[in-house]
Amino acid sequence: MMEWIVSILLISGALFMLVAAIGVVKLQDVYMRMHAITKAASLGAILMLAAVVLWHPQWIVAIEALMVVLFVILTAPIGAHMLARVSHHMKVPIGQGYIMDELQDAIDRNEMDGTVSDEDKAIDADKL
């Protein structure tokens, strides 16, 4: 029974990661890919960790697994935030179907820091 539960957890976690990876390939702009990575991947990891804890029911394993989960939740969004923010500053091309950009509005109102320069368009990412 336990073997089955663990196996399902493991497989579903891996599938989540796979979906995230597919998302990274398929999704249309950097923000959406970030979504896929921060969430699906983290969730996958969490599921797999659950499998480990169930299979090795020791305190130390549980604590370590919990630490992984906590730290993923604590750090992954920060990293994503930093990258998303700078992507917005860089005016990384966005995909279709955007319905609003209130962040840009705030920047235009000078409420937010959003460094803009004339060369924005000219930045050749490869040469940076």
Partner 1 sequence: MNSGLLIGLLLLLSFLAPFTRRYLNNLAGPLYAIVPVAGIIYYLRALPVILKGEVITESYKWIPVYDINLSFYIDGFGILFSLLILGIGAFILIYAGKYMVPYPMKGRFMGYLILFMAAMLGIVVSGNLITMFVFWELTSISSYLLIGYHHEKPEARTAALQALLITGFGGLALLGGFVLLGLPYGTYELSTILADPEPIRSSVLYLPALILILLGAFTKSAQFPFHFWLPGAMTAPSPVSAFLHSATMVKAGVFLLARLNPVMGDTQIWHILLTTFGTVTMVMGAWFSITQTDLKKILAYTTVSALGTLVLLIGTGTQYAINAAIIFLLVHALYKGTLFMMAGNIEKMTGTRDITKLGGLFKEMPVAAIVMSLALVSMAGIPPMLGFVGKELIYEATSLAPTSRYLILLAAFFTNSVLVFLSLRLSLDVFWGKRSDYQKKPFDPYVALMAGPVVLVLLSLLLGLFPANLAAPLTAMAITSVSPGHVAVGLKLWHGFNLVLLLSALTLFTGYFMYRYKRMILEHSGSINLRYFAREFSNGFVAAVDGFLHFTKKQTSRIQHGYHRFYLMTVFAVASVLVWVMIWRADPIILELNFADMPLNLVAVVVLIIAAALSAVISHSRVIALVAMGVIGFGISIIFIAFSGVDLAITMIMVEVLMVILAMAVLYHLPKYAKYSESGARMRDGLVASLVGAFMMVLVLQAGTTQMSEPISSFFKEASYSEAFGRNVVNVILVDFRALDTLGEISVIAIAALGIFSMIKLSKRKEI
Partner 2 sequence: MIQPDTYPVLSFAVYFSFACLTISLFAGLYRLLTGPSLPDRIVVMDLIASLVIGLIINYVMLTGQPVFLNVAVAIALLVFMGNIAFAKYLKRRVQQ
Partner 3 sequence: MLKIFTFLLRIFRLILFIGYYLKELVVSSLYVAYDIITPKDLMRPGFVEVPIDLKNETAVIALVNLISMTPGSLTVDMSPDKKKIYIHAMYLFDKDAFIRKIKNELEDRIRLIFD
Binding segment for partner 3 (CB under 8 A), chosen from 51-59, 60-68, 101-109, 115-123, is 101-109
Residue 100 in contact with partner 3, rule: CB under 8 A: yes
CB 101 within 8 A of CB 87: no
The tokens for 83 are: 């990258």
Would you call 16 exposed, middle or buried from its count of C-beta atoms within 10 A (0-12, 13-18, 19+)?
A: buried
Is 15 strand, coil or helix?
helix
Binding mask 54-93 for partner 2 (x = CB under 8 A): -xx-x-xx--xx-xxxxxx--xx-xxx-xxxxxx-xx-xx
Applying CB under 8 A, the span of 37-45, 53-61, 71-79, 120-128 interacting with partner 1 comes to 120-128
What's the distance, Cα to Cα, between the start and end of the chain in Å? 54
Least spacing, CB of residue 109 vs partner 2, in Å:
20
60 is in the binding site of which of partner 2, partner 3, partner 1, none (Cβ under 5 to 8 A by kind)?
partner 2
